[in-house]
């Protein structure tokens, strides 16, 4: 029996500005922290940068036509902050906004619902260093002012696109911004200071709340506002008390550091205790928790693989956690926790294939956040896709991955989770951050020499699911 999804379920694909747009120096855009980071030798594999990426800025109309041909009903993209507000403060650049006006017009004309993310990691460099115009103090997300700058930018984008976009997301994966950007340093801006990472996490929570207020003030009542988190399905290696405690610690640092303020209006007591030797959290000011805990219409979940942990030294494992190699841990106060790769199939990122993690997260947040719509704002896998001699690209592993995860979503809906949409990561191959162009997540293959796009077999498979709203029998083999 095919598994049917509810009518109106959104079938989308997702991308992010720095990963696809290119045109890094056009129409007034200034560098973001990712431009600076990727141009710093040794930071990105192969010295790759997003200067050209997949040239979406110039190929946008063809790309939207491709989405419509595939049968997508929604598209999640992000706005490049330095394209719209180059110094991170002051008025918007209309040419920058015009690109997103044109993109959303094309989407709407093609019957595709735009889902807009305000921040997918491309902080204007000036807000990090304050060095471009000399007007700003900078400091990045560890600095409180950045949260206010983000709210100002949110208001500018909302005013420009309020008539075209109903689905708004404030932040994408703030965990990565805070803990990979300022803790382990494998993401921009590449700082390795655990306290800065915790301060960044708080200011991202605050910025989310302030931006949500700015969006609600500017948008019509029908707008739906949310955030896209990458919660970890954290599992202890064994039920030994040390392993269970390691899982609790990582759950606090991966998940509850954001869902605490955003869903319940407070930081979890165990998180504060686990990090008390590093900071007294005095950067949290009166009123911040109420601001961060704005009503959420949509909780976006980005899911790839579960996380298995144990107490230090238990079993075979490492301090590496699938988020890139660094001598610095992204887990402040929990550096000794050991991470384990579960047995079984792996993707090209060495992430395990386990849809039960997605099911568990959907059921968890259905219970913890009743009344909030859930969306899978990202899910997908990288594989070493290569064109066949006839130019076609077959990716049965990705079809199996998607089938398994969509089946988990179907089961969660059947068990009561209010899930309204699924966005495949990613529409097309693109710049995979510190891995450069070496990892292909796309349903559409991109030849980086010619920029020719070729839908992989998974794109055809997913398009059929989107058109019928039904998941066929699992693929064999
Ligand atoms: O490519 C990223 C995306 O930008 C954020 N979520 C995870 C994806 C795969 O690593």
Nearest-CA residue for atom 9 of ligand 1:
432
Beta pairing class for 338-340 and 298-303? unpaired
Q: What is the pLDDT of residues 63-82, one digit of tens each?
A: 999 999 999 999 999 999 99
Nearest-CA residue for atom 1 of ligand 1:
432
Q: For 320-333, give one letter per residue: b (16+ CB within 10 A) or e.
A: ebebbebeebbbbb
Q: What is the pLDDT of residues 40-53, one digit of tens each?
A: 999 999 999 999 99
CB neighbours (10 Å) of residue 6? 11
- Collapsed DSSP state (helix, strand, coil) of residue 267: coil
Query: What are the structural domain ranges in the chain?
Result: 3-471
Q: What is the pLDDT of residues 212-271, one digit of tens each?
A: 999 999 999 999 999 999 999 999 999 999 999 999 999 999 999 999 999 999 999 999
Per-residue confidence (pLDDT) for residue 474, from 0 to 100: 72
Q: Best of 232, 424, 433 to mutate for ligand 1, by most ligand atoms within 8 A of CB?
A: 433
Q: What is the pLDDT of residues 288-316, one digit of tens each?
A: 999 999 999 999 999 999 999 999 875 55
Pocket of ligand 1 (CB under 6 A): 16, 19, 173, 302, 378, 425, 432, 441
* Mean pLDDT across the chain: 96
Helices 396-414 and 457-468: crossing angle in degrees, nearest 10, is: 30
Q: Is 449 a catalytic residue?
A: no
Q: Determine which one of 3, 173, 286, 432 is catalytic.
A: 173
- Say how many Å lie between the CA of residue 170 and the centre of ligand 1: 16
Q: Best of 13, 16, 50 to mutate for ligand 1, by most ligand atoms within 8 A of CB?
A: 16
409 within 8 A of 363, measured Cβ to Cβ: no
CB neighbours (10 Å) of residue 313? 9
pTM higher than the cut 0.85: yes
Q: Is 473 a catalytic residue?
A: no
- Using pLDDT thresholds of 50, 70 and 90, give the confidence band for residue 476: confident
Per-residue confidence (pLDDT) for residue 230, from 0 to 100: 98
323-340 average pLDDT score: 89
Nearest-CA residue for atom 2 of ligand 1:
432
Helix H or strand E encompassing 377: strand 373-379
Fold of 3-471: TIM Barrel (3.20.20)
Q: What is the pLDDT of residues 397-415, one digit of tens each?
A: 999 999 999 999 999 999 9
- Collapsed DSSP state (helix, strand, coil) of residue 350: coil
4-28 average pLDDT score: 98
- Say how many Å lie between the CA of residue 382 and the centre of ligand 1: 10
**Please, is 265 exposed, middle or buried when counting C-beta atoms within 10 Å of its C-beta (0-12, 13-18, 19+)?**
middle
CA distance 211 to 198: 20
CA distance 239 to 384: 36
Per-residue confidence (pLDDT) for residue 320, from 0 to 100: 57
CA distance 58 to 75: 18
């Amino acid at each position: 029996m095919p598994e049917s999804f509810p009518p109106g379920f959104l079938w989308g694909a997702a991308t992010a500005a720095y990963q696809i747009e290119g045109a890094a120096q056009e129409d007034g855009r200034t560098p973001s922290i990712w431009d600076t980071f990727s141009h710093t030798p040794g930071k990105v594999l192969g010295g790759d940068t997003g200067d050209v990426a997949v040239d979406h800025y110039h190929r946008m109309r063809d790309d939207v036509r491709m989405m419509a041909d595939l049968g997508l009903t929604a598209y999640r993209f992000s706005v490049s902050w330095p394209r719209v507000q180059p110094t991170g403060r002051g008025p918007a650049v209309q040419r920058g906004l015009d690109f997103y006006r044109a993109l959303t017009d094309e989407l709407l004309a093609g019957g595709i619902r735009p889902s807009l993310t305000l921040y997918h990691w491309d902080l204007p460099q000036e807000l990090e260093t304050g060095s471009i115009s000399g007007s700003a103090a900078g400091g990045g997300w560890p600095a409180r002012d950045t949260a206010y700058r983000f709210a100002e930018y949110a208001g500018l984008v909302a005013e420009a696109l309020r008539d075209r976009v109903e689905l708004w997301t404030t932040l994408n994966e703030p965990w990565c911004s805070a803990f990979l950007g300022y803790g382990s340093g494998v993401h921009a801006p590449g700082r390795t200071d655990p306290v800065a990472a915790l301060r960044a996490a708080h200011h991202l929570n605050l910025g989310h709340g302030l931006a949500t207020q700015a969006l609600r003030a500017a948008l019509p009542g029908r707008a739906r506002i949310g955030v896209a988190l990458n919660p970890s399905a954290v599992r202890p290696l064994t039920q030994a008390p040390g392993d269970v405690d390691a899982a609790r610690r990582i759950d606090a640092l991966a998940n509850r550091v954001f869902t605490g303020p955003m869903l319940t209006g407070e930081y979890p007591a165990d998180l504060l205790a686990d990090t008390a030797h590093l900071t007294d959290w005095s950067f949290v000011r009166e009123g911040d928790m109420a601001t961060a805990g704005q009503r959420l219409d949509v909780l976006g979940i980005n899911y790839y693989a579960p996380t298995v942990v144990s107490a230090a030294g238990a079993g075979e494992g490492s301090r590496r956690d699938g988020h890139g190699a660094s001598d610095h841990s992204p887990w402040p106060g929990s550096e000794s926790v050991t991470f384990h790769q579960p047995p079984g199939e792996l993707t090209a990122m060495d992430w395990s294939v386990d849809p039960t993690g997605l099911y568990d997260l959907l059921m968890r947040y259905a219970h913890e956040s009743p009344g909030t719509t859930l969306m899978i704002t990202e899910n997908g896998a990288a594989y070493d896709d290569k064109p066949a001699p006839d130019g076609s690209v077959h990716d049965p592993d990705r079809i199996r991955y998607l089938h398994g995860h969509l089946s988990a979503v179907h089961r969660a809906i059947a068990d009561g989770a209010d899930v309204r949409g699924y966005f495949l990561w990613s529409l097309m191959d693109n710049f995979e951050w510190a891995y450069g162009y070496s990892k292909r997540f796309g349903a559409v293959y991109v030849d980086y020499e010619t920029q020719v796009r070729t839908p992989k077999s998974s794109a055809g498979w997913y398009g059929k699911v989107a058109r019928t709203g039904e998941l066929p029998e699992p693929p064999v083999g």
